[in-house]
């Protein structure tokens, strides 16, 4: 049976299947269930930067706050439900409850005062910190360079506040993704999570109101992170984690041969229950055995580094073939 043990962000993990940050990892019980189902590590539900700032004062109701009333009320509620103090207790309790690495998560958009909190996350015993940085370019006046510099400044700021292994979950919509990722790693990160799955916004065309789109992914969405991990793995030395579209052991195998060190699953925990982790592990292990890999580390990057995959030629040729072959 293939050896699934590996490392992620310098941490030893018993296998590369991680529970991704989501509602299920928002409670100690959920974290325990993921670990019992076999997860190699658990990424906790994110704390939002706004929750930290609200506790520090100034972001929830102070004069001149940019938040409209409804948003301020929501933040106030968040602060008193799962606020920064209770998040630190949550980290401590989750660490006591499981014997796999516990990765804290902060969803942030600015390099402001919340950063001292990274040191508190470290003191609470988290094994690593994942930053979910969702920068949405909305202004026609903002350049790609400005957005990228903003991302790097957040990363540098957090790096200066903690010695924890750090990774960042970003979206795919960058003009020059390889450069963005290599500069992010240079700014002091150990890994990158590909990708943030943005809130899917649909529209009710009659009521002219926004409505929620698909909350959960399916395996079809895996192709985007697969493409990018395959391109980036041979060029950038860091731990890639694939998030979005991993629902089966074969999905996980694809991500690993593309170059992922680990995969993270969220939607499948909801659509197939938390026990999906043990099924994915079994399928991955069977796949490694059937294809002659003694360890998961042996399989990593085999596609990305194979002679059959030269993205510079292949991507263009496949594109031309696909379009000229369509009637």
Ligand X SMILES: Cc1cc2nc3c(=O)[nH]c(=O)nc-3n(C[C@H](O)[C@H](O)[C@H](O)COP(=O)(O)O)c2cc1C
Out of 15, 21, 241, 248, the residue judged to bind ligand X by CB under 6 A: 21
Count of helix runs (H) and strand runs (E) in the chain: 13, 13
Nearest residue (CB) to ligand X, 28 versus 293: 28
> Rounded to the nearest whole angstrom, what is the least distance from the CB of residue 21 to ligand X in the complex?
4
Q: Which stretch binds ligand X (CB under 6 A): 149-157, 232-240, 241-249, 289-297?
A: 241-249
Find residue 92's DSSP bridge partners: none
Contact flag: residue 105 with ligand X (CB under 6 A): yes
Out of 33, 72, 197, 261, the residue judged to bind ligand X by CB under 6 A: 197
DSSP 198-262: ---EEEETTTTEEEE--SS--GGGGHHHHHHHHHHTTT--SEEEEESS--SHHHHHHHHHHT-SE
Out of 14, 33, 169, 300, the residue judged to bind ligand X by CB under 6 A: 169
Contact flag: residue 107 with ligand X (CB under 6 A): yes
Contact flag: residue 46 with ligand X (CB under 6 A): yes
Contact flag: residue 184 with ligand X (CB under 6 A): no
Contact flag: residue 22 with ligand X (CB under 6 A): yes
**Closest Cα to residue 197, out of 220, 163, 181, 166?**
220
Dihedral angle computed from the Cα positions of residues 245, 250, 252 and 254, in that order, rounded to the nearest 10 degrees = -90
Q: Which two tokens stand for residue 121?
A: 């996350």
Would you tell me how many other CB atoms lie within 10 Å of the CB of residue 306?
11
> Rounded to the nearest whole angstrom, what is the least distance from the CB of residue 144 to ligand X in the complex?
23
Nearest residue (CB) to ligand X, 14 versus 45: 45
HSE (CB half, 13 Å, CA atoms) of 327? 0
Nearest residue (CB) to ligand X, 51 versus 243: 243
Contact flag: residue 162 with ligand X (CB under 6 A): no
Give the span between the Cα atoms of 208 and 3, in whole angstroms: 53
List residues binding ligand X (CB under 6 A): 20-23, 45-46, 105, 107, 132, 169, 197, 215-217, 243-246, 265-268
């Amino acid at each position: 049976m293939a050896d699934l043990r590996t490392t992620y962000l310098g941490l030893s993990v018993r296998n590369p299947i991680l529970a991704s940050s989501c509602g299920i990892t928002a409670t100690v019980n959920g974290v325990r269930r993921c670990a019992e189902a076999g997860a190699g590590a658990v990424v906790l539900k994110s704390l939002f930067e706004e929750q930290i700032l609200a506790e520090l004062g100034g972001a929830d109701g102070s004069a001149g706050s940019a938040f409209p009333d409804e948003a301020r009320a929501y933040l106030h509620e968040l602060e008193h439900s799962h606020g920064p103090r209770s998040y630190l207790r949550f980290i401590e309790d989750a660490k006591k409850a499981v014997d796999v690495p516990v990765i804290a998560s902060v969803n942030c958009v600015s390099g402001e005062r919340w950063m001292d909190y990274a040191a508190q996350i470290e003191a609470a015993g988290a094994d690593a910190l994942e930053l979910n940085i969702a920068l949405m370019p909305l202004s026609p006046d903002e350049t790609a360079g400005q957005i990228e510099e903003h991302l790097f400044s957040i990363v540098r700021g957090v790096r200066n506040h903690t010695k924890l292994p750090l990774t960042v979950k970003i979206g795919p919509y960058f003009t020059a993704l390889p450069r963005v990722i290599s500069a992010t790693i240079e700014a002091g990160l150990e890994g990158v999570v590909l990708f943030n799955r943005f809130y899917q916004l649909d529209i009710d065309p009659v009521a002219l109101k926004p409505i929620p789109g698909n909350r959960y992914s399916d395996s079809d969405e895996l192709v985007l992170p697969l493409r990018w991990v395959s391109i980036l793995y041979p060029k950038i030395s860091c731990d890639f984690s694939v998030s979005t579209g991993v629902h089966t052991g074969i999905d996980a195998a694809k991500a690993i041969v593309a170059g992922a060190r680990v995969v993270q699953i969220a939607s499948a925990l909801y659509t197939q229950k938390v026990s999906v982790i043990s099924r994915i592990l079994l399928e991955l292990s069977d796949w490694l055995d059937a294809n002659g890999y003694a360890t998961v580390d042996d399989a990593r990057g085999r596609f990305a580094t194979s002679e059959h995959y030269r993205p510079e030629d292949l991507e263009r040729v496949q594109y031309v073939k696909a379009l000229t072959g369509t009637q």
